[in-house]
Amino acid sequence: MKYIVLVGDGMGDYPIEKLGNKTPLEKAKKPYMDYLASKGIVGLAETVPPEMVPESDTANLALMGYDPRVYSKGRSPLEAVSMGIEMQPEDTAFRCNIVTLSDKCEAYDNKIILDHSAGEINDKDAHKIIATIDKELGNDTRKFYAGVSYRHCLIWKDCPAVCSFTRPHDILGKRIGNFLPEADEYRRLMVKSFDILKNHPTNLRRVSEGKSPANSIWLWSNGKKPALPPFSDKFNIKAAAISAVDLIKGIAICAGMESIDVEGATGTLNTNYHGKAKAAIDALGRNDLVYIHVEAPDECGHRGEAENKVLSIEYIDGMLGFLMDEMKKSGQDYKILLCCDHPTPIELRTHSHEPIPFVIYQSNNETETGLYYSEEQAKRTGLYIKDGSTLINLLIK
């Protein structure tokens, strides 16, 4: 038996008026997802414990079978692992977004956060920005590392006492003064970054091209070096993971899974869907399970782009069709877990706590359910997995 986990990050949503009061999952044309629901097990799962923040590290740890209440140490250390950073016990990792703030000569506290991703900045521009930030703000105990698009990392040895940090995608369109770190050391870095970046040549060019400038850093999600028991020890199978984002790659590496990079995989709507699906089939030749993570629906949710979120789901459905066709050609029995990690509702433009709809399909044991894949259909079944970290047991065991 081969196992495929296909995660559409943030696919879950609320009914949207402009979509005819349907959710993006209900609106999308997704014949393969609906086929799985009509022939498999459908239900809801709670991937984020009520007392925890609905973050992607928490939710994806749960989907991989790791209780986030035990293993979640913040997303930044996992991203650091993916970037090849060797953390020491005295090191603390911070996620360092490069964001777009309003620039109308107002005081830093009065600026508005316009975009948590600086217009989904490309790697080339982002790396120039981070190189300047590290040169100007880095020192013997503090170093900035470039990641993917807007997602970067600060490693701080013996950092000042940490305080509460706000996720930038939670406060889009709001004045930032009430959401800045309470500790002066972190606040000063963010203020200085704006002074450094507002006239950076890369930003001046981006503005001239009609693009959003990456004119400030935003620090959040601090954490220490992570440790996970090997996935192969937990489930007695070999596994691989495919994702464009460092967070998922970091979880995979910490779990002893094969982490696979795919050329053209961006973590945005415009990514290499087919390349990721093909890489998954290749990975199943040397592994028992492949975990495929697609970031696009989440990014569309954060950006408030309902039509693009529908489109991203349809693209993922195309991936699913390819996977099913290739597995049928192989003649191997297989099971698929189709789900999201958490909802990212268009209305909120950030993550929410609602349970996720899931389907588990087994190629050699189809059933007739009469269902299709959506939040409401999953709710109707009455199947509810309270501890999302046990969901994978339904797939494997």
- What is d(CA 79, CA 184) in angstroms, rounded to the nearest whole number? 25
- Residue 104 has a pLDDT of 87
Residue 70 vs residues 58, 64, 67, 229: alpha-carbon distances, Å: 10, 13, 6, 11
Domain with CATH 3.40.720.10 in the chain: 2-73+228-396
**Overall average pLDDT of the 51-60 stretch:** 94
Residues present in the chain in total:
397
**Overall average pLDDT of the 322-341 stretch:** 98
**Considering only CA atoms, which of 176, 46, 32, 17 is closest in space to residue 101?**
176
- What is d(CA 227, CA 250) in angstroms, rounded to the nearest whole number? 11
Confidence of residue 99 (pLDDT cuts 50, 70, 90): very high
CB atoms within 10 A of CB 69: 14
- Residue 284 has a pLDDT of 98
pLDDT in tens, 178-197: 999 999 999 999 999 999 99
- Report DSSP state, residue 159: P
CA 155-186-299 angle, 5° bins: 70
- What is d(CA 280, CA 292) in angstroms, rounded to the nearest whole number? 7
Q: Tell me the one-letter amino acid at 53.
A: V
Starting at the edge strand found earlier in the chain, the sheet holding 2-8 runs 258-260, 239-242, 289-294, 2-8, 334-339, 356-362, 41-45, 384-385
Confidence of residue 24 (pLDDT cuts 50, 70, 90): very high
SS3 (DSSP) at 366:
coil
- What is d(CA 180, CA 159) in angstroms, rounded to the nearest whole number? 17
Confidence of residue 74 (pLDDT cuts 50, 70, 90): confident
- Please determine, for residue 202, whether its predicted confidence score (pLDDT) is greater than 90: yes
**Taking the CA atoms of the chain, what radius of gyration do you get in angstroms?**
21
- What is d(CA 1, CA 3) in angstroms, rounded to the nearest whole number? 7
Confidence of residue 174 (pLDDT cuts 50, 70, 90): very high
- What is d(CA 352, CA 301) in angstroms, rounded to the nearest whole number? 11
Residue 302 tokens, joined? 């954060």
* Distance of alpha carbon 284 from the chain centroid: 23
- Residue 163 has a pLDDT of 87
**Overall average pLDDT of the 369-391 stretch:** 97
* Per-position b or e across 77-92, b if 16+ CB within 10 A of its CB: bbbbbbbebebeeebb
**Overall average pLDDT of the 7-11 stretch:** 98
| Superfamily of domain 2-73+228-396 in the CATH hierarchy | Alkaline Phosphatase, subunit A (3.40.720.10)
Model confidence, pTM: 0.85
Beta-sheet pairing, 239-242 with 216-223: unpaired
Token pair 């982490």 is found at 259
**Considering only CA atoms, which of 225, 296, 238 is closest in space to residue 267?**
296
Confidence of residue 105 (pLDDT cuts 50, 70, 90): confident
Partners of 292 in the beta sheet? 6, 242
- Residue 33 has a pLDDT of 98
- What is d(CA 143, CA 164) in angstroms, rounded to the nearest whole number? 21
DSSP string for residues in 51-87: TS---HHHHHHHHTT--HHHH---HHHHHHHHTT---
Mean pLDDT of the chain: 96
Residue 324 vs residues 128, 285, 296, 334, 368: alpha-carbon distances, Å: 41, 15, 21, 9, 18
Confidence of residue 225 (pLDDT cuts 50, 70, 90): confident
**Overall average pLDDT of the 364-386 stretch:** 97
- Report DSSP state, residue 172: T
Confidence of residue 73 (pLDDT cuts 50, 70, 90): confident
pLDDT in tens, 141-159: 999 999 999 999 999 999 9
For 11, list phi and psi in degrees, rounded to 5: -60, -35
